[in-house]
Structures are given as structure tokens and as C-alpha cells.
Amino acid sequence: MDLSHVTQASAAEIAAAVRRREITAVAVMRTFLDRIEQLEPRFNTFATLTAEAALQQAHHADKLIAGARDPGPLAGVPVSVKDLIAVRGVRQAFGSKLLADNVAQHDAPAVERLHHAGACIVGKSTTSELGSKAVGDSPLTGVTRNPWNAERTPGGSSSGAAAQVAARMVPVALATDGGGSIRIPSSFCGVFGIKARFGRVPVWPPSAAPALAHVGPITHSVRDAALVLSVIAGRDARDEASLRSPVPDFLASLDEGLRGLRIGWCPALGYGRADAAVLEACEQAAWQLQAEGAQVMELQPPFARDPGPAWNRLFYGRIGERLAELAPTPAQRELVNPALRAAVAQLEAFGPPAEAELAALREETWARAQSVFRTVDVLLTPTLPVTALPVGVDVPPGHAGRNAVDWSYFTYPFNLTGHPAASFPVGFDGGGLPIGLQIVGPLDGEGAILRVASAIERLHPIAAPRLV
């Protein structure tokens, strides 16, 4: 492999070249670190860069190969880790000034598994504070910018992760998703991001919103995401919600094609709306799958009511509890992002929640989502109602009354239900900003999602922004 092209290569290609001794893991890492040095000042994607540790990990991979030992399926692949995920000995600040000096004492299970697979952790990517906004800024790290247009947000809360992958600063980024935080920035940045079924990838230490939290990859390619999922999925006793069932063969799904697959296209879920340019690109991509052998049909909106109130209670209610612990005084509260304070205060203003009503809404949302998959094998929707917002804007114009996440109408329901979901880029708006198509599967439907994403990838190869 030519070093001059290594930043354009997939994770699978890099690992294969390193394992064949065509290139060293150290040379790969130095090449990516050079690119990070060049681009990071423009996009501000790293909360913490761990260059020396990454080079040491790369050297270890090379040493194993020299001794005829296999470092693993991600040998020498640079990976960033979102700053909500623990990496032992590295600052884990959650994008918050309140936790600026916090250092993780343990690796998260997914990070342990990346290490065992030969990946090299290059640093911690930026996040909105406590993962609480769908755009990319935090009080601690400032504004992260979108490589397609630096005056636009990359989305959030996995802002740095998606921006790094889009800018080819890393081939793989490990991210989290509690209401769309993998899919939102993947859509805004024109990359592929997937959250598997709830519990497929263990989450530990516990998230601030444990009933909604997922860990998953953002990548340049569907195959890379399947490869990373194969590495990080599986039971871990530290996370009681992690699944005991065997990990599916995600890579095998990529070769199955779409013949006989029933795909439902749904332009709205029963509330909210998407811009015309978004709808046009997503609908066109959906119907194109007929030529790949799928049976495509348009579905009626599945939800009678917006599940936002139930999601907000589980998400901002729990984050509010975390903030009460971290910032008990008014002076400490002033250090918190204003949009986060507002969302928590709005929830508190409603008084004691009607828990029975919210539980009924969650159950209704679950039942209606399940009913969709009695008719189709995969559900397609827009990932987002809009393309990337200007930096500094928390809620899209025309969507007043929504908070800093629940304007993302299409993503958060599938955190409530735990269904696997992904975003794949399918076009651009008139300003050249990416548009994402959301792909949702039944509970054990990661394979179906990957099949569909692989087919879309053949029709719409992932583009890269021109960075000069």
C-alpha cells in the first residue's frame, strides 16, 4: 500500500496491508497524525490527542507481526474514541468544565476489544456536554466544525467522531447514541454510522441515560462498520443489559444482496417533517433499491403520538440528575451549556412526571415499531429533517418549540425501542451539504441494515469533502 493513499484507504484495507507487512502500523499512524496536525486547527475534533500512546500501540502491532503473531483484524488501524467513552489513563471530560480534570480508571469494554483487535487509539473526540445536544459544541472544547463547510456544525453529540471520519483524519471512530448521536452527525457529515440493537455492544461505565445508550462505529464504508461491530459486540457482565445471545456474522450479511427483502419507505413517522430536498434524495434512494431485487413499498406513518415526552424524561431527566450531583451550586450551574440547562429546566417545570402515562407512551411506541416489522424487513426514513445547521444554532429554523435534540424527529424513537438503526449518505442539498437516509431494522436486524446499506453504497459511494 502506498503511504500517500493510506488516509483514503478503508480500515479493512489498512489492517490487511499491515498484516501482510506491506506497510508498518507505525508508518500508518504517523501518516494519520500528520493529517490530524494539518486539519485539526480548522475543525477542532479532538478533546484529547494521544499521539505517543497511539505510536506505542502501533509499534506493538508491528512487533507482534515481526514475531509471526497476528495482532488482530484491526491491526494498525487508527481509531478515535468519543469523550463519553472511557479510555484508561486518559482524560474523560464529557465536554464539561465540571469534569475537566476527570481521568478514566478503566477501559470501556468496546475499547478493550479494539485494543485486543490491534487497533491503535489516537485520542478522544469532541462531544456536546454530557452528550446532550444534536450539534457540535461544548463549554470545554468550543465549536467543532463540519469538513463539508466549516461554518456548519457536524452535528452531535458525536461531533468530533463524524467530522474526523469525513475529513479522513481517522478511518474509524467509536461513538455513542442516546437519541441519534451516531446517526445525526453521520448524516450531517456524509459518513456511515450505525447503532446495533440495544445491548448488542456493552456500555460500561454506565451512561447518564442507561436505558437509551448505545456504542457503535462511524466509518467511511459499510464493510468497516461491520468489521468493527464484529469486534466490539458481545456480552460483558459489567453491563447487565448486554445481550447473552451469540454475536451475528455481520460481515456475511454484506454479500447476501437484497433479493426478496421487503423495504418500507416512510417519509414521516406521524409527527415532524423533513425539508423538500431531504425528502427527495431519501425517497429516490429508497425506490432505487427495487433494481437491486428488493420489494419497496411506501408505509403510512407508524406512530400516532410523538414519543418525544417519554424520550425526554428518560434522557434529560437522568442528565438532570447527573447535573444536580456535579453542579449543586448556582455558580457551578453557570458553567453548564445554556441549551442543556434550558432542556433540564423545561422538564422540571412540568412538575412530577405522570409516570404511568409516559410508560404507556413508551409501550405504545414499542408496539407500533414492532408492528412495522411484521410488514417489512427494513424501514427507511430521512435521518434528519434538515442538512447541517450553522455553527452556534441549536434548533433548526422553523422547528421552534423543540429542544436541542428532539428536533431530530426520526432518530430518538429507536433509542426508546432499542431497534438497530443506521444513517447512510444518499445525496446533497443545493448548498452541497450531505443528506442521510436512516435504515432501521427489527430487533435482531443488524444484518438486514448492513445488506441495505451495502446496496446503497454501490449506488451512492461515500464522497469526501475537498480539503485544501
| Statement to judge: residues 207 and 123 lie in one domain | yes
321 in a structural domain: no
Residues 224 and 291 in one domain: no
Judgement on whether residues 78 and 207 belong to the same structural domain of the protein: yes
Number of domains in the chain: 2
Whichever domain contains 171, its CATH number is 3.90.1300.10
Residues 182 and 274 in one domain: no
Asked if residue 272 and residue 229 are part of one domain, the reply reads no
In a domain, 257, yes or no: no
Please check whether residues 71 and 171 belong to one and the same domain.
yes
Element counts in the chain: helices (H) and strands (E): 15, 13
If asked whether residues 198 and 288 sit together in one domain, one would say no
Active site residues: 82, 157, 181
Pick the closest to residue 173 from 92, 80, 40 (CA basis).
80
Domain-embedded: residue 15: yes
What's the pLDDT tens digit per position in 133-168?
999 999 999 999 999 999 999 999 999 999 999 999
Give the per-residue pLDDT at 452.
98
- Whether residue 159 is preceded by a cis peptide bond, meaning omega within 30 degrees of 0, is no
Asked whether residue 240 is assigned to any structural domain, the reply reads: no
Residue 250 domain-assigned (yes or no): no
Q: Which residues lie across from 289 on neighbouring strands?
A: none
Residue 146: per-residue pLDDT? 98
Closest CA to 193 of 170, 169, 173, 213: 173
pLDDT digits (tens, 9 = 90+) for 262-304: 999 999 999 999 999 999 999 999 999 999 999 999 999 999 9
Edge-to-edge order in the sheet of strand 172-177? 46-49, 120-125, 78-82, 172-177, 214-219, 192-195, 421-428, 434-440, 378-382, 262-265, 295-298
**pLDDT value for 464:** 87
Q: Are residues 284 and 143 in the same domain?
A: no
Identify the helix (H) or strand (E) that includes residue 286.
helix 276-288
* Domain assignment of residue 337, yes or no: no
Q: Is the same domain home to 65 and 198? A: yes
| pLDDT given at position 352 | 62
Which residue has cell 476489544?
113
Quick one: 357 exposed, middle or buried, by C-beta within 10 A (0-12, 13-18, 19+)?
A: exposed
* Domain co-membership, 195 together with 85: yes
Residue-level pLDDT at 312: 94
Domain that holds residue 87: 3-234
CA distance linking residue 173 with residue 228, whole number of Å: 10
Write out residues in the chain with pLDDT < 50, as ranges: 468
Per DSSP, the three-state class of 243 is coil
List strand residue ranges (DSSP E) for 113-196, in order: 120-125, 137-138, 142-143, 172-177, 192-195
Q: Are residues 34 and 167 in the same domain?
A: yes
| Same domain flag for 163 and 267 | no
Which contiguous run of DSSP H or E holds residue 16?
Answer: helix 11-19
Residue 102 within any structural domain of the chain: yes
333 in any annotated domain = no
